[in-house]
Amino acid sequence: MADTVVGANPDPHVTGDDPDRRDFIHIAAGVAALGLVGGLAWPFIDQMNPAGDTLALASIEFDLSKVEPGQQVVVKWRGKPLFVRNRTPKEIQEAIQGDHADLRDPATDESRHKPGKANWLVLVGTCTHLGCVPTFGGGEYGGWFCPCHGSVYDTSGRIRKGPAPKNLEVPTYAFLSDTKVKIG
């Protein structure tokens, strides 16, 4: 902008360091281009997030009468396994005792089931370490054992041993009736 040729006629548009109309046009054009790129970046990033139909399939209903005490049924929910476990009184007792143990991700057993439905445990069946599917009844706490890297969960699905940082996740669910739950 400030280039001047010696001996040339002074350019009326060049006024030293003061911004002129060309500076304004340069800055405006630059900002417009940045805005365009920035505005388009989000659609190009967000297209990878779960699509509408994927989100629409996000909740399922499940009939609990299929699960006898001491059993677990694995349901597919959002592409992941979901554990629906009908706990025996002994397993519930063990889980309540575990409340006082030294827990990595502290939670009471009560907070992990619906009120008055202590026998029903509904959990996302993926290990919180790296997403493997823990095996039912394995490990020294009688809950689950992850074969991949040796995480051990108790009968409340709380992490007790191994590399996993968190308890098995409790999904959002609600009892529609005594024998029916809606998950998601």
Residue appearing with tokens 């009560």: 110
Q: Is 101 in the site for another protein (CB under 8 A)?
A: no
**Which helix (H) or strand (E) element contains residue 27?**
helix 21-46
89 binds another protein (CB under 8 A): no
- Tell me: does residue 164 bind another protein (CB under 8 A): yes
Q: How far is the CB of 124 from another protein (least distance, A)?
A: 9
Coil, strand or helix at 71: coil
Among 9, 49, 65, 177, binds another protein (CB under 8 A): 49
Give the Cα separation of 137 and 152 in Å (integer): 10
Establish if 26 lies at the interface with another protein (CB under 8 A).
no
Per-residue tokens: 92 = 């519930």
**Is 149 tagged catalytic?**
yes
Is the distance from CB of 89 to CB of 141 less than 8 angstroms? no
**Interaction site with another protein (CB under 8 A):** 45, 48-51, 54, 58, 74, 76, 78-81, 125-126, 129-133, 146-150, 163-165
| Residues identified as active-site | 149
